[in-house]
Amino acid sequence: MRSTMQDAPLLIRDMVRHGQWMYADKRVFTATPTGTVHETFARVAERAERLAGALAALGVQRDDRVATLMWNNQSHMEVYLAVPSMGAVLHTLNVRLFPDQLAYIINHADDRVIIVDASLVPLLARIKDQIAGVRHFIVNGPLEDPPFALIDYQEIVAAHEPGYDWPDLDERDAAVMCYTSGTTGEPKGVVYSHRSIWLHSLASTSANSIALSDRDRCLLVVPMFHVAAWGAVYTSFMAGTELIMPQMFLQGEPLLNMIMELRPTVALGVPTIWNDLLRAAGGRSDADLSSLRMILAGGAAVPRFMIEAFRERHGVDVLQGWGMTETSPLVAVSMPPAGVSREHEIDYRVKAGRVMAGVQIRITDENGAVLARDGVATGEFELRGPWITARYYGVDAPELFRDGWLRTGDIGTLDPHGFMVITDRAKDMIKSGGEWISSVALETTVMGQDGVFEAAVIAVPDDRWQERPLCVVVRGSESTVSAEELREFLRPSVAKWWLPEHWSFVDAIPKTSVGKFDKRALRRLYAEGQLEVETLE
């Protein structure tokens, strides 16, 4: 028997219409060098309609990729609303990538238009010659001496009428795409659908997850180029949650000022940022974080001391979230279950989180056998669900899936109540301040240097950045190559923040039975203090 329900597709345009009408007076705040500006949801949605008209006039069609190279600000939000609603695909570019990676991603995604914040034009100028497929560059903000032809964002929005006729689409059509470097090899594209974004947003309004609602004002520190800002832009229009957009002012001091001035109820970002906020708040006697009902910290493990410090010093609850670019990202949040005393809540908040309805999860051993959900058996997390990716865009990566389940590369335990604890990582990467550094890319470059026989890079703990790379080197015979020389050699090939400051010279790197670098053994040697480490300034 078939149901008698209507078959209405879940489309982003309808989320936009909902917020535009139902929450017309809700506001988006954007930080600027001269103070905060704000605009209503009604106006933002109207400007999104004008933008869609402008993009259509430039020739943007169904399925065309429109990329953004932007900070968190109101214009970026307008692009988020307009591009998928008109049937095109929003591709958010990570401003922290090295130019060559950026060019690779733009070409791989076949971006037709790039909308760029004026402050990021110099970055784009460095790769302009490598991205011939891009037809139009649109700049947001005033710019003296543009290095190449740029269309002015504000002018084209003003020049077009509101009332764009959002088309009917299939809910499975592509809406947003994001590249992840969270695995080995080239960055891989993940494509979210209208449907996946809808369901993920609904889940984010659930009281068992982060319960975003029209009673909230959200400080959105997680960049809009990270997994669609953890979905918060779309959820805000669905739920009437106001947003505060910090632009590039992401240090503890300016964030503290924003919190005290605009009094958000929730804040979303990686642990490194919240550590910095703690430091800034500790240095000010008038620090006041009392408006916050919750800080959602995710993208990396959240240390116990941070959760305790926010609670004890500022009366703020930190909730941990677990997710990946491949998972939209929210899969689990560490909301303590009912009945747990205030004193024992911390034991839940330090876990990666409890899995939300809509996502299926299991852990498996190396042979793919499914392990018990007993909080003891340790294996790799695998996921299935309507907002979990089933493949990558334009590349085959069968090793990252098993029987239709996404292999996460995260290792840990699952307890009988659905709480995940992460204990290790199978993927060979370093997560520094919430951004990935590829250990393989560092190793292959260092091994290209004269005087180096072998090099292996592992993540080591760091107070400020959570993890930093340690490069372990075996010199060639007679070589006296130094850490400084190797760092200088790396400099032209990788982003500055990738450059390892920790180096260790050894006689041999431990190997696995099949002859690969045994990074677990290296990590153990480091933890036991058996590696002599030189740290550069």
| Pairing of β 452-462 and β 111-117 | unpaired
User: 298, 303, 433, 469: which one contacts ligand ADP (CB under 6 A)?
Assistant: 298
Q: How far is the CB of 63 from ligand ADP (least distance, A)?
A: 24
Of residues 30, 180, 272, 325, which has the active-site annotation?
Answer: 180
- Non-local (6+) Cβ contacts of 320 within 8 A are 296, 297, 298, 302, 307, 333, 334, 349, 350, 351, 352, 353
Q: How many residues bind ligand ADP (CB under 6 A)?
A: 21
If one asks whether residue 258 binds ligand ADP (CB under 6 A), the answer comes out as no
Q: How far is the CB of 435 from ligand ADP (least distance, A)?
A: 8
Give me the 310-349 binding string for ligand ADP, x by CB under 6 A, dash otherwise.
Answer: ----------x-xxxx---x--------------------
If one asks whether residue 352 binds ligand ADP (CB under 6 A), the answer comes out as yes
Asked whether 201 and 12 are in contact (CB, 8 A), the reply is no
Of residues 46, 171, 242, 326, which has the active-site annotation?
Answer: 326
Give me the 186-225 binding string for ligand ADP, x by CB under 6 A, dash otherwise.
Answer: ----------------------------------------
Residue at token pair 């689409």: 169
Asked whether 72 and 126 are in contact (CB, 8 A), the reply is no
d(CA 309, CA 17): 41
Q: How far is the CB of 431 from ligand ADP (least distance, A)?
A: 6
- Beta strands per DSSP E along 255-346: 266-269, 294-298, 318-323, 330-333
If one asks whether residue 425 binds ligand ADP (CB under 6 A), the answer comes out as yes
Question: CB pairs under 8 A, 24+ apart, for 248-251?
Answer: 248/71, 248/119, 249/31, 250/221, 251/276, 251/280
Question: Which residue number, 50 or 188, has a Cβ lying nearer to ligand ADP?
Answer: 188
Q: How far is the CB of 2 from ligand ADP (least distance, A)?
A: 38
Give me the 125-144 binding string for ligand ADP, x by CB under 6 A, dash otherwise.
Answer: --------------------
Residue nearest to ligand ADP (CB): 299
Of residues 26, 351, 431, 519, which has the active-site annotation?
Answer: 431
Q: What is the CA radius of gyration of the chain?
A: 23
Question: Which residue number, 113 or 197, has a Cβ lying nearer to ligand ADP?
Answer: 197
Q: How far is the CB of 452 from ligand ADP (least distance, A)?
A: 29
Active-site residue flag, 326: yes
Q: Which residues pair with 244 in a beta bridge?
A: 29, 219
Active-site residue flag, 180: yes
Q: How far is the CB of 258 from ligand ADP (least distance, A)?
A: 22
d(CA 218, CA 518): 43
- Non-local (6+) Cβ contacts of 301 within 8 A are 271, 352, 422, 466
User: 91, 226, 349, 407: which one contacts ligand ADP (CB under 6 A)?
Assistant: 226
Asked whether 223 and 71 are in contact (CB, 8 A), the reply is yes
User: 227, 239, 294, 400: which one contacts ligand ADP (CB under 6 A)?
Assistant: 227
Question: Which residue number, 88 or 300, has a Cβ lying nearer to ligand ADP?
Answer: 300
- Beta strands per DSSP E along 405-496: 405-414, 419-425, 429-432, 435-438, 452-462, 466-475
If one asks whether residue 504 binds ligand ADP (CB under 6 A), the answer comes out as no
Residue at token pair 């560092």: 442
Question: CB pairs under 8 A, 24+ apart, for 184-187?
Answer: 184/427, 184/428, 184/429, 184/438, 184/440, 185/397, 186/104, 186/108, 186/395, 187/101, 187/104, 187/105, 187/108
If one asks whether residue 301 binds ligand ADP (CB under 6 A), the answer comes out as yes
Residue 162 corresponds to which tokens in the numbers above?
């509101």
Active site residues: 180, 326, 431, 436
List residues near ligand ADP by CB under 6 A. Answer: 180, 182, 226-227, 298-301, 320, 322-325, 329, 352, 408-410, 422, 425, 436
